[in-house]
Structure 1
Amino acid sequence: MRAVVAVLLLVAAAHAALWGFFQEKKQAPDFRGILPSVSYAPFEGTAHPDVDNIPTVEKIRDDLRKLSSITRAIRLYSSTGGVELVPPIAAEFGLKVTVGAWIDKNSDRNEREIDAAINLARRNSNVIGVVVGNETVYRGEQKPEDLIELIKRVKKSVNVPVTTGEIWNIWRDYPDLAYSVDFIAAHVLPYWEYFTDTQAVDQAVDRYQLLRDQFPGKRVMIAEFGWPSAGYNLRGAFPGSFEQAVVLRNFVSRAEAIGMDYNIVEAIDQPWKFFEGGVGPYWGILNAAREPKFSWTGPIVNPDYWKLATIAVLVGILMSLPILRLAQPTVLQALTLSAAASGVGAWAATVFAYWTGHYFVFGSAFALSLGLTLLVPLVLIAMARVEEIAAVAFGHKPRRLILKGEPTVPATIGGSVSFPKVSIHIPAYFEPPEMLKATLDAIARLDYPNFECVVIINNTPDPAFWQPIQDHCRGLGERFKFINAEKVQGFKAGALRIAMERTAADAEIIGILDADYVVGPDWLKDLVPVFADPRVGLVQAPQEHRDGDRSLMHYIMNGEYAGFFDIGMVQRNEENAIIVHGTMCLIRRAAMDMAGGWSSDTICEDSDLGLNIIEHGWLTHYTNYRYGHGLLPDTYEAFKKQRHRWAYGGFQIIKKHWRRFLPGASRLTRDQKREFSLGWLNWLGAETLGVVVAILNLIWVPIVAFADIAIPDRILTLPIIAAFVVTLAHFLILYRLRVPVKWGQMFGAMIAAMSVQWTVSRAVAQGLITEHLPFARTSKGGLSRMSIEFQAFWEAVIGVLLLIGATVLVVTNNSKQIREIYIFAGVLVLESLPFLSAVAIAILESSRINSFKFWHDAGVRTAELIGLRPVALPSVTAPPQPVPNEIRSEAS
């Protein structure tokens, strides 16, 4: 344990060191002077000024008091709605004011704005100019000639310079507009023109010089220059707090050096400008709390950096503490888990930084909260998978696993070997008689002296199904009991309860077999001795299938089943927390009675009973040796129905047993509770979460594509990609280490596992709104026919919509090339894979390539074409030559 503690401390120290190593620090020219002008809007919060955002005198005074220490003048954009209060208050602090008249298509409002601007210019001596309209021509709300008339009208009414604010190219393209104003107020915002932060200052100086050259003798002012501190990128233009500081300090230094007249946009962040895209609220040199966002002198650093580092390291340590509860973890195991925990800590710090450094309207706050809420279980699932990777790859070998060939201690009475009586129960419902006969014949060959077999066929009135079995049981001898029960209530559990009533009184152990399972002769001989320990209540052997070579689909399905029995069950067995499945299991009769026997209130009566037994304190054991082989579901439809039943029954079990996971409510240990909880979350939660997130992301596609709202990648989309990578690594690593299958079958198993995501999520949804669904028998034995309906219709619909959504995002993002949107499109593609996997298997099932013969013949033909094997030519027998007499006869 000391070594593990040392590893945790080492990882925490390394994590802190990495934060120190990657601390960003940039240099830029110092500026110790006073800015000539900054744009100012006295509004607060996220409410639009036209709706409800009227500033107060006190708030304006506080703002201008702060601004008076960093600027000599302010630029306003309107003259109504509370902004008219600014000029007289600015005079109190010695601030000059350039007033603005907001001009758009609303003529009534335009008149009010112009009148108000004129009055402000006349009544306040600190007003040094009037700007009539702001990018009005650029937005197409006024024609240049109409705007010129408005400018002329204002010029006649005031004694200060009058102009309009427009992007630099509008001045270039409309020289009449330039000649109508007293000075050119040009906006140069390199971000919106896709320039990088390193190009921004050069671009601004170049445009300034261009206008001076085009209009010699005319005063030219860069009336807007700035860089956003947050938001999404436009091509190579990346916002950021460091980028903003460097750009502005470089610009101010260059502007002062060449004597440029300029105005910085803007003084204070404006959260209400969310309609200007992700960067709209973040152009201020002060944040919305009126605090400086960067220093104008010295190295540029993040003042909150070490606060974030502390959060990351502390969360990493907190997430690492459960490692101390593991049973003798190895150094590599602890190292892997602690490193993963540190990664979660870094993500948590990123989330904190984003949440505290951004402004949210209700909709964005709700969407972000929902996204983070969904990510919490996703992170827990990813951590659980990392833990399993670490345990299998670097941990100790399984210690409780029963291995074939290892000596077991048989039960003894008075020094002689005892063979407890085993009663094997086989429930059957419309099962193919020949298949069931094979199962019974295998039981008859068991190498165990003391057993009986109870066959119960329930609710199967057709004699063609039960009569041959009745006759076969008679032929096998008195050990085999046959029951034909009609109108049985409670599905499979009801039939098993009847079997218990007909069980021999001296039977101590109950064995459960599905009707399709052919067991090996050593099943009871090897596993019954485990019950010599009186604490053992159940011994489980894995499922296996003997018809994996029926088709390519069955081949990959068999590989998918194997993963659960060779990985998950082996690991859960270490904590005495296995999932009991209703075949190949042996149950102590006393444990079954204590647990209440078979219950019909779930459709997974086997797992329900197993959990009941564990909750009463009994030990369970597991072996991954295949003592029996059954049959795979006949069709993909049957495969999905079986998985639906397991998932729905699993959710029923959660609803039934969750109270027993509370402290003191059962004899479950802390590790058992953890294994079951994470197991349910890892299976039911992961699949359901995947579907929910995919559908929510589909809903977001038009918002992202057409409303300029990007999904923050570091806190939402990149974690989804990271979780997918963990899941992929979990599958590939554990399969290679634990499951003896070939590469092709492994990848096929991965597709089969993904293909049931929609099925499992539907089962969970139905479990939320219903209490009971009927038990659905899994069709086996070749009697069922493939449905004419396409078995992945809804998966196809959702999968195609996800791909269409990704395509729409890429196409609409082609001009702006916003990184976050590309990442979001990639997430949609990843989320489509489970749905498309279902489509692929449904198509495979009905195609020629599902046949192994097709692949064999294709391999032979390919080998012949490339000359690796000789072409087998058909032999042609030459027709017999006619004799001379026949020739003469034909001629005649």
Structure 2
Amino acid sequence: MKYIISSLLLASLLQVFLWLNSDKKFISPPDADNIIESLSYAPYKKSNNKEFLSDEEIVQDLTLLKQFTNKVRLYSAEDSQRVMPAVKKLGMQAHMGLWLSPVAENNEKEIALAKSLITSYHENLASVIVGNEVLLRDDLSPEDLIVFIKDFKEFTNNVVKADRESKAKAAKEEIAKEKDRKARAAKEKAAKEKAAKEKEHKILVTTAEIWNMWLLYPDLVQEVDVINIHILPYWEKIKAENFESFFKEIYKKVADAYKNKPIFIGEFGWPSQGYNNQGSVASPENQATIIRRFLVLAKEEGFSYNLIEAFDQPWKGVDEGSVGQYWGVFDANRHQKFEMQGEVLVEPYWFTQMVVAALIGAIFTFFGLRNQHVNFLHAMTYGLAAQGISFGIVMSAVYPFVHYMNFGKWVMWGMGSILMVPLTLITLAKANELFKCTIGRRPQRLIPLDLKSNHVPFVSIHVPAYKEQPAVLEETLIALSKLNYTNYEVLVIINNTPEDYYKAPIKALCQELGSRFVYLDIECTGFKAGALNKALDFTNPQSEILAVIDADYVISPNWLIDLVPIFDDSKVALVQAPQDHRDGNESLLKTAMNAEYAGFFDIGMVERNEENAIVAHGTMLLIRLSAFNEVGKWNTDTIVEDSELGLRLFEAGYMGHYTNRRYGFGLLPDTIEAFKNQRHRWAYGAIQILKKHWQHFKPSSKTLTRAQKHHFVTGWFFWLSDALGTVTSILNIIWVPVIIFVGVTIPTIALTVPILTAFIVNVIHSFVLYRTRVKANFYHSLLGAIAAMSLQLTIFKAVFDGFVKDRLPFKRTEKGGNSKKSLENPIKNEIILSVLLIGSFIALIMTNHQRIVEVYIFSLTLLVQSIPYISAIILRMIETSSYKKA
């Protein structure tokens, strides 16, 4: 425990130290004035641009903005109709826009409304902007746009002139009423000064376009009062540090082209969140730095500008993806994002994130290690891994607090967060096993070779055989006849096999091998478990130990003499030796399968043995008969009766032991289909056991130790994680068309990084442990990994079946030439999924014209998710090539 506490504290302190010493929490861009010349303003509700703010809310907004600017830019006559009363009330100015489109009828309404507003509010208008980027969108031709501009120039001039004349006439009438000479002279002077000021005021008429459109259409320039250009380095894919040189270059190009025409920067800004646009990165630090540097530049150079925009507009997430929402100097809740002087805090939740991350990492460390025997190095590395994963969790958890969430984002973030729970547990379990096996304590409980005992208990060896090839079973029985142990019998249990082809040679062999070999020909229900139960009636009454092996296993003579002495400890109820295979070199397919099996028996079982939590298997298994009778014999309500029995023995308080020495060698599945059927049976059976025994895993249950609960639950989570991998693959495939064709919702970190992290940990775990524990070279490790990954869809189906289907029939694993060649392709579903995933990967890469990092990460996630299904295809290719050679 001292190592766990020390690693917990040290790793947590390291997390805190890194947070405190990070230079990314605060930035110090150059100080700028609080005064901004103009800000774009849209009077809409946060989530809906079809619903206007109330008059009171608009006044509140403009009152806030008046602390920073006296001008706002509006984008349509309809917007202006709602905003101009507040502009006038507060004595502000506006750049009033008209929203022109290809629809003539809409344009007529827009123009009519705009003219009425100009008539009413011309004193508060700095300019009229006839259309916004209509040439860029190709909504109007330059010629049509010029007609509208000329019309509004004439109209505004007439409005201003008529107003000026009306005011002059009123002033003359007022002066004429004055009878005092001095007072009249004073009023005449004041009227002249006022008239001069009003004469200076002119409503500029222009249109708004990106900078290069002005260079393309010089005739348009001749018709406007001012060149209103949009310069948005983000959309030009300019890196944040290069924005100033880019801006100066563009401004100079336009200024040099039209030396006698004034220039107004109609839009300049930078988003605080969202995806990158190639080199342009949307971030709080970039927004604060660029805006402040721009304000300094504008003051130094003396140009006029309008910043886009005043407030964030979450409703733009529907049309402009995850960037359009974040251009505001204020967020959607009207909080200023950054000050114009001094340091800028760009990670507002950093302290909470630091505390929560350190706390979660400490919890992971404590509960991940508390039931295990660890040394300091193992505990410390695990503690660091736990802190790293907790950092990723808080980064994902804070996402909804710094982003505007729409339905699609909530779906993705929710899916990712749910997915993160099992992936985190599995990744930590894999990391724990990796550290334990490489830098942790050496195994202590493996059965030693030098066990001796004066007691030689009677062992009843049971060999169930259902339609087993006679030559295979004969080899097994001959090996059993050569055991060095002296006190045993062999029950050959031929069950539900009517054909003499399978029975006659075996019956003859049993007679030949002598009285130790008992030939049983039985009919039963309950598959293998039913046959084993029926054989108990024929077991020698002197038996103290049951031994079970599969019909294809050739046993070492020392099996019993080496392992039986451990039963001198009355608490020992089962002893398990590993499975291995003698036909691993028969073909490349079998080499791959054999490598895959070896990992479990040389890694997982060794570590489970340290905590008295091994999984009992139906071959190479020794069981104390009295304990077996106590817990209720073989159960026929699961198809993994051996593993279920082992768990019952642990629940009864007994111990189990494991040796990783090979005492027997069986046969591998003949085909991929047989390989998949066997794994389906194991995974399906595991879910059956989970459903049957779940109450024993509750914290309040005392039947199992915490270490045993940990290992069994972790083992089940491994099955569930493979199943979850298929589910997330399908969900991600469904999401790809949304990204490509709608383009509004790019997957969040919660939906991509955990999958990639889990994959990386799995690769490291597999190759490092195969090298250190299995002693496999890279070639065999790779084959084992391919075989393991190829089973993902099979495990998904097994887990699904386990939760929705009860009592599926037992499917035997075809071995030793028993299998029949199937006409159906056993991996057709894997082919479909791999094609969809790879196709989705290619489609996203090809359509990611803006080189959005999040899209690349999601694409990589899809490619990683295709690897299990590609592995199945590779294994199938290996199998078919073996057929051709045969």
Q: Secondary structure of 2:76's match?
A: coil
Displacement of 1:392 in angstroms is 1.0
Correspondent of 2:327 among 265, 275, 283: 283
Correspondent of 1:94 among 91, 95, 112: 91
Correspondent of 1:301 among 327, 336, 345: 345
Q: Secondary structure of 1:282's match?
A: coil
Partner of 2:685: 649
Q: Are 1:176 and 2:176 matched, yes or no? A: no
CA–CA distance in 1 between the matches of 2:702 and 2:401? Answer: 43
Displacement of 1:788 in angstroms is 4.2
Q: Secondary structure of 2:305's match?
A: strand
Matching of residues 318-337 of structure 1 within 5 Å: 318-322=363-367, 325-337=370-382
Matching of residues 498-513 of structure 1 within 5 Å: 498-513=534-549
Report sequence identity in percent: 43
Structure 1's 154 and 491: CA in aligned 2 closer, same or farther, altered over 3 A?
same
Structure 1's 3 and 656: CA in aligned 2 closer, same or farther, altered over 3 A?
closer
Further displaced range: 776-785 or 423-432: 776-785
Correspondent of 1:54 among 52, 55, 65: 52
Post-superposition Cα deviations, 1:570-600, rounded to whole Å, max 9, x if no partner, equal 1111121111111110111222223222122
Partner of 1:211: 254
Residue type of the alignment partner of 2:653: G
Partner of 2:67: 69
Q: Are 1:845 and 2:879 matched, yes or no? A: yes
Displacement of 1:695 in angstroms is 1.7
Partner of 1:794: 829
Residue type of the alignment partner of 2:440: G
Q: Secondary structure of 1:193's match?
A: coil
Post-superposition Cα deviations, 1:422-462, rounded to whole Å, max 9, x if no partner, equal 11111111101111111111222222222222111111111
Matching of residues 431-830 of structure 1 within 5 Å: 431-486=468-523, 488-665=524-701, 667-682=703-718, 684-709=719-744, 711-712=746-747, 714-813=749-848, 815-830=849-864
Residue type of the alignment partner of 1:129: S
Further displaced range: 154-163 or 760-769: 154-163
Displacement of 1:303 in angstroms is 4.9
Displacement of 1:118 in angstroms is 2.3
Partner of 1:834: 868
Further displaced range: 92-101 or 491-500: 92-101
Alpha carbons 1:316, 1:341 under 8 Å: kept: yes
CA–CA distance in 2 between the matches of 1:740 and 1:161? Answer: 81
Partner of 2:200: none
Q: Secondary structure of 2:808's match?
A: coil
CA–CA distance in 2 between the matches of 1:714 and 1:67? Answer: 34
Displacement of 1:666 in angstroms is 5.5
Which has the higher relative contact order, 1 or 2, with Cα contacts under 8 A spaced 6 or more apart? Answer: 2
Alpha carbons 1:11, 1:338 under 8 Å: kept: yes
User: RMSD of the TM alignment (CA)?
Assistant: 2.0
Alpha carbons 2:27, 2:346 under 8 Å: kept: no
CA–CA distance in 2 between the matches of 1:326 and 1:485? Answer: 46
Alpha carbons 1:539, 1:622 under 8 Å: kept: yes
Deviation >4 Å, runs of 4+: 848-851
Alpha carbons 1:542, 1:625 under 8 Å: kept: yes
Matching of residues 25-36 of structure 1 within 5 Å: 25-36=26-37
Q: Secondary structure of 1:69's match?
A: coil
Displacement of 1:565 in angstroms is 0.5
Displacement of 1:323 in angstroms is 5.1
CA–CA distance in 2 between the matches of 1:595 and 1:164? Answer: 87
Alpha carbons 1:454, 1:482 under 8 Å: kept: yes
CA–CA distance in 2 between the matches of 1:575 and 1:343? Answer: 27
TM-score (norm 2): 0.91
Displacement of 1:712 in angstroms is 4.8
CA–CA distance in 2 between the matches of 1:45 and 1:767? Answer: 46
Residue type of the alignment partner of 1:839: I
Displacement of 1:850 in angstroms is 8.8
CA–CA distance in 1 between the matches of 2:651 and 2:352? Answer: 45
Alpha carbons 1:790, 1:842 under 8 Å: kept: no
Post-superposition Cα deviations, 1:235-260, rounded to whole Å, max 9, x if no partner, equal 21111111111111111111111111
Q: Secondary structure of 1:13's match?
A: helix
Alpha carbons 1:55, 1:83 under 8 Å: kept: no
Q: Secondary structure of 1:597's match?
A: coil
Alpha carbons 1:553, 1:850 under 8 Å: kept: no
CA–CA distance in 1 between the matches of 2:380 and 2:423? Answer: 22
Further displaced range: 694-703 or 645-654: 694-703
Partner of 1:420: 457
Q: Secondary structure of 1:191's match?
A: coil
Q: Is there any run of 5+ residues in structure 1 with no aligned partner, and where?
A: 411-416, 854-892
CA–CA distance in 2 between the matches of 1:113 and 1:206? Answer: 36
Displacement of 1:94 in angstroms is 3.3
Partner of 2:308: 265
Q: Is there any run of 5+ residues in structure 2 with no aligned partner, and where?
A: 161-202
Post-superposition Cα deviations, 1:445-495, rounded to whole Å, max 9, x if no partner, equal 222222222111111111110111112112222222221123x21111111
Structure 1's 483 and 521: CA in aligned 2 closer, same or farther, altered over 3 A?
same
CA–CA distance in 2 between the matches of 1:579 and 1:537? Answer: 13
CA–CA distance in 2 between the matches of 1:426 and 1:323? Answer: 40
Partner of 2:357: 312
Displacement of 1:568 in angstroms is 0.4
Alpha carbons 1:44, 1:288 under 8 Å: kept: no
Displacement of 1:680 in angstroms is 0.9
CA–CA distance in 2 between the matches of 1:303 and 1:695? Answer: 35
Displacement of 1:700 in angstroms is 2.0
Post-superposition Cα deviations, 1:307-342, rounded to whole Å, max 9, x if no partner, equal 333332222223222256144421111111111111
Partner of 1:185: 228
Q: Secondary structure of 1:133's match?
A: strand
Partner of 1:10: 10
Structure 1's 666 and 599: CA in aligned 2 closer, same or farther, altered over 3 A?
farther
Alpha carbons 2:80, 2:96 under 8 Å: kept: no
CA–CA distance in 1 between the matches of 2:138 and 2:357? Answer: 49
Q: Secondary structure of 2:10's match?
A: helix
Q: Secondary structure of 1:483's match?
A: strand
Residue type of the alignment partner of 1:320: T
CA–CA distance in 1 between the matches of 2:299 and 2:862? Answer: 49
CA–CA distance in 1 between the matches of 2:803 and 2:4? Answer: 42
CA–CA distance in 1 between the matches of 2:222 and 2:799? Answer: 71
CA–CA distance in 1 between the matches of 2:325 and 2:460? Answer: 74
Partner of 1:105: 102
CA–CA distance in 1 between the matches of 2:77 and 2:652? Answer: 77
Matching of residues 853-864 of structure 1 within 5 Å: none
CA–CA distance in 2 between the matches of 1:95 and 1:199? Answer: 34
TM-score (norm 1): 0.91
Further displaced range: 742-751 or 300-309: 300-309
